[in-house]
Amino acid sequence: MPTQWVDWSKTTRSKDYRGSGSFATFLIIGPVCFCLGMLFASFPYDFPLLWTSDPIPPSYLDHLETHLRFMHQSPPLIARMLHIIAFVGFLGFFIKLFRPSEANVLFDGGSLILYVIGAGVYLSNIVKGMRAVSQPGGLAAAAAVSGAGDRTERFEGTVHSGPLTGEVVLGREDSLRVLSASHVILALVLVGVLVLQAGQWYAERKEADDYAKAEREAAERKAAGAAVAGKKKV
């Protein structure tokens, strides 16, 4: 690994080490917990689509689309605040990974990778799905528009939109399932960030205990050596 940006001499006992107790860690954990809270608020809507085998009534799908449309069409200030909070998490990672130690590379580097994956899931699946819901007519109209002009073949809730593009447009219920599954994936990724940050705290605590034990044993050996030297003089 290049030494130009990694400080291999830095340890958890260094003064400039940014570990689990630093302010940068708070900048990471805060946005992650905030996003997990938002995902938990959506869990009652996602649960029937993913974790039950009972038939889903159309009225529930209507209610869910109304909820998603209301969230997506909220004032722009709401989306800007969410993006600023997400950027604060990136800021925390950049602070901890500036001239990082080996522990920062392992724990914070892995956390940053998961955080980027979560941002990708949000932009590619969740935002795209909410935009489709917000179209006039909802997901049903979006599927009809996507399949217009080509020969369509319907089987098991999917629409194959012609042989030229090979595009597969999901039906209304399947599209909402994909959106709910994206919520679960994003939640698992964010939990992984918390697990890595907790692992960093545990590693630091374990290393501090080992240092304290080694210093205590060295002091005991020194005291025993001094006692033996004193007896010899007597």
Q: What confidence tens digit (pLDDT) does each residue in 165-213 have?
A: 555 566 778 889 999 999 999 999 999 999 999 999 998 888 888 888 8
- Give the pLDDT band of residue 215 (cuts 50, 70, 90): confident
Nearest residue to 173 via CA among 93, 51, 57? 57
- pLDDT of the residue at 17: 76
- Give the pLDDT band of residue 150 (cuts 50, 70, 90): very low
Single pTM value for the model: 0.79
- pLDDT of the residue at 37: 95
Q: Residues of 62-99 as b/e, b for ≥16 C-beta within 10 angstroms?
A: eebbeebeeebeeeeeeeeebeeebeebbebbebbbee
- Give the pLDDT band of residue 159 (cuts 50, 70, 90): low
- pLDDT of the residue at 180: 93
How far apart CA 205 and CA 201 sit, in angstroms, is 6
How far apart CA 73 and CA 130 sit, in angstroms, is 9
- The pLDDT of 209-232, averaged and rounded, is 78
28-46 pLDDT, tens digit each: 999 999 999 999 999 999 9
Percentage of the chain modeled with pLDDT above 70: 78
